[in-house]
């Protein structure tokens, strides 16, 4: 007598023939089942998918199949729901990104919970990039579309400012000649400089030697460059010759003239392979030493300049950047990745972030630390954000006054009317004397009185003015266009 199939086996057999791409995802994000339609959508065999763990967002896995299925993961924070929709994606290296709406439904059998039944194309989210309604989905898609590896939070975003920044980073990576990265306090230019270096071919065989400019002297520069030269000769290869010896010149806008001359001397040597990644607060043209920079050093520092904007200039990117920081910090501490509640997103958008990326990173670190201590809850609410942020927003809201519209022409006409009436009163309605006090002609005074509906007596009353009337500040009233 044949052995009866388990409910799970019967379910999987039923789903095998479905035309829509379908898979079953366990609570640990491993794929328990995938039908042939899903395998075709992914471009692999079913056997290559079963048992794979979907890593979700974050650093792409090294294994190509793991990298392929990472976008099939359920977004963080959905464990308590019975049903939800999200965007899933397939990011095969070298191939265009494919995405689809998907409906996740909790599977319950007599044996207990199986996890999620996922049906692609069954949701109402559509296929466009803008349909990725959650931050986690947007971040996952950006990770594929933007830069390889694990880009820093600085370049995360969809704003015009973020796109311009990304183009500058691409230019620096493509040029492989170095760059100067500058920005306001807390913008963390060093983090971006190290990322750019990591994207150079052969970077794993090279060293990025840091020198802090305000502490650098001739001896420090000599020792650092000679050490890099010895390393290059000891590990000589085509890559070393092509991509040079790299200096990370920190706080380069504080470089002393003597140190600048010493560094320029090394750059003048024939066949030198020195490349410089520099960080600063401002663009090179605003440095105190700018006028004294030697020609070659100046040319190297200004070849590619990347300006990091303040977060206040790209507030629409802040929630995505915050989510990226949450993911990085959570993985560092082996914690589940939290998601942002809508009210928390609104607060992130409203705050001005004067401390820029450093302040944003500290806020994310505080959230992860708080969740690690509390355990269980994985949704970031407003009360989880720093108190100073909440107080700043509260005070800002209380201090806002309604914007009053200003009719400039009416205000100016009222001021002009007041001056004319004061002059007429002091001159006892003597038109010529009032015009003199105002510094205009009698004809212009009469014309302005008519335009401003200022009533004048029909007859001029002659008075003997014993004392000169008090002087009135002369105002050059413009002719009316009426």
Q: What is the pLDDT of residue 308?
A: 95
Could you give the 3-state DSSP secondary structure of residue 61? Answer: coil
Could you give the 3-state DSSP secondary structure of residue 402? Answer: coil
Q: What is the pLDDT of residue 465?
A: 44
Residue labelled with tokens 């931050």:
135
**Of 15, 94, 424, whose CA–CA distance to 432 is shortest?**
424
Distance separating alpha carbons of residues 430 and 278, to the nearest angstrom: 74
Asked if residues 148 and 67 have their Cβ atoms less than 8 Å apart, the reply is no
What DSSP character marks residue 27?
T
Give the pair of three-digit tokens for residue 96: 């265009």
Q: What is the pLDDT of residue 461?
A: 43
Topology of the domain covering 315-398: Helicase, Ruva Protein; domain 3 (1.10.8)
Asked if residues 364 and 386 have their Cβ atoms less than 8 Å apart, the reply is no
Give the pair of three-digit tokens for residue 143: 């990770």
Please state the pTM of the whole predicted model: 0.62
Strand ranges (E), 26-137? 31-34, 83-90, 98-109, 112-120
Asked if residues 379 and 341 have their Cβ atoms less than 8 Å apart, the reply is yes
Q: What is the pLDDT of residue 175?
A: 84
List beta partners, residue 107.
Answer: 115
Distance separating alpha carbons of residues 102 and 139, to the nearest angstrom: 17
What DSSP character marks residue 30?
B
The architecture that CATH gives domain 153-309 is 3-Layer(aba) Sandwich (3.40)
Q: What is the pLDDT of residue 418?
A: 85
The rounded radius of gyration (Å) of the Cα atoms in the chain is 35
What long-range pairs does 237-242 form, CB within 8 A, spacing at least 24?
237/202, 237/205, 239/201, 239/202, 239/205, 239/206, 240/202, 240/205, 240/206, 240/273, 241/273, 242/201, 242/202
**Of 361, 343, 365, 341, whose CA–CA distance to 353 is shortest?**
361
Give the pair of three-digit tokens for residue 305: 């300049």
Q: What is the pLDDT of residue 401?
A: 44
Q: What digits encode the pLDDT tens for the residues 235-257?
A: 544 444 455 789 999 999 999 99
**Of 277, 256, 278, 283, whose CA–CA distance to 184 is shortest?**
283
Q: Which CATH class is domain 405-482?
A: mainly alpha
Chain centroid, CA 327 distance in Å: 16
Domain boundaries, the chain: 7-145, 153-309, 315-398, 405-482
Q: Note the CATH number of domain 7-145.
A: 3.30.450.20
Average pLDDT by stretches of 10, the chain with 482 residues: 59 78 89 90 90 69 79 74 80 65 80 80 47 55 59 84 87 88 95 91 85 89 85 53 78 93 90 90 92 91 93 90 88 82 88 94 92 74 91 70 64 84 85 88 89 76 45 48 44
Could you give the 3-state DSSP secondary structure of residue 202? Answer: coil
Distance separating alpha carbons of residues 33 and 65, to the nearest angstrom: 15
Distance separating alpha carbons of residues 69 and 80, to the nearest angstrom: 23
Distance separating alpha carbons of residues 46 and 224, to the nearest angstrom: 54
Q: What is the pLDDT of residue 141?
A: 62
Q: What is the pLDDT of residue 124?
A: 46
**Of 199, 287, 276, 286, whose CA–CA distance to 245 is shortest?**
276
Give the pair of three-digit tokens for residue 66: 């793991």
Q: What is the pLDDT of residue 241?
A: 45
List beta partners, residue 379.
Answer: 339
**Of 394, 286, 298, 398, whose CA–CA distance to 347 is shortest?**
394
Give the pair of three-digit tokens for residue 16: 């095998």
Which residues, at least 6 apart from 215, have a Cβ–Cβ distance to it below 8 Å?
none
How long a stretch of residues is the chain? 482
List phi, psi (to 5°) of 203. -60, -30
What DSSP character marks residue 23?
E
Q: What is the pLDDT of residue 370?
A: 87
**Distance (Å) of CA 266 to CA 177, 212, 279, 280:** 16, 17, 20, 21
């Amino acid at each position: 007598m044949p052995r009866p199939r388990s409910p799970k086996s019967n379910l999987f057999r039923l789903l095998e023939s479905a035309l829509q791409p379908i898979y079953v995802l366990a609570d640990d994000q491993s794929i328990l089942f995938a039908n042939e339609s899903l395998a075709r959508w992914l471009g692999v065999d079913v056997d290559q998918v079963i048992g794979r763990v979907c890593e979700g967002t974050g650093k792409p896995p090294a294994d190509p199949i793991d990298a392929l299925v990472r976008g099939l993961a359920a977004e963080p924070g959905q464990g308590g729901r019975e049903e939800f929709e999200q965007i899933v994606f397939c990011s095969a290296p070298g191939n265009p990104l494919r995405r689809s709406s998907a409906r996740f439904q909790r599977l319950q059998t007599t044996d207990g919970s199986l996890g999620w039944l996922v049906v692609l194309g069954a949701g109402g989210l559509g296929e466009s990039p803008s349909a990725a309604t959650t931050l986690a989905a947007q971040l996952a898609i950006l990770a594929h579309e933007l830069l390889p590896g694990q880009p820093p939070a600085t370049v995360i975003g969809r704003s015009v400012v973020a796109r311009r920044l990304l183009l500058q980073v691409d230019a620096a990576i493509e040029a492989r000649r170095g760059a100067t990265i500058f920005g306001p306090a807390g913008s963390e230019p060093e983090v971006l400089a190290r990322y750019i270096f990591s994207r150079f071919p052969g970077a794993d065989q090279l060293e990025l030697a840091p020198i802090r400019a305000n502490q650098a002297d001739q001896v420090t520069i000599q020792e650092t460059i000679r050490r890099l030269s010895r390393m290059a000769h000891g590990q000589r290869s085509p890559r070393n010759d092509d991509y040079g010896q790299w200096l990370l010149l920190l706080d380069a806008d504080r470089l002393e003239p003597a140190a600048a001359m010493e560094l320029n001397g090394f750059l003048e040597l024939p066949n030198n392979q020195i490349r410089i990644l520099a960080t600063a607060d401002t663009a090179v043209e605003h440095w105190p030493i700018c006028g004294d920079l030697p020609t070659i050093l100046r040319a190297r520092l200004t070849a590619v300049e990347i300006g990091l904007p303040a977060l206040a200039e790209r507030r629409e990117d802040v929630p995505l950047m915050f989510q990226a920081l949450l993911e990085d910090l959570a993985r560092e501490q082996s914690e589940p990745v939290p998601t942002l509640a809508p009210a928390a997103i609104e607060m992130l958008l409203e705050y001005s972030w004067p401390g820029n990326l450093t302040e944003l990173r500290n806020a994310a670190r505080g959230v992860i630390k708080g969740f690690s201590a509390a355990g269980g809850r994985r949704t970031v609410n407003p009360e989880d954000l720093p108190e100073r942020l909440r107080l700043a927003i509260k005070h800002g809201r209380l201090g806002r006054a309604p914007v009053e519209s200003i009719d400039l022409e009416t205000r100016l006409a009222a001021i002009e009317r007041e001056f004319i009436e004061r002059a007429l009163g002091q001159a006892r309605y003597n038109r010529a004397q009032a015009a003199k006090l105002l510094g205009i002609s009698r004809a212009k005074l009469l014309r302005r009185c008519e335009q401003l509906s200022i009533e004048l007596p029909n007859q001029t009353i002659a008075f003997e003015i014993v004392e000169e009337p008090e002087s009135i500040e002369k105002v050059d009233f413009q002719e009316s266009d009426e």
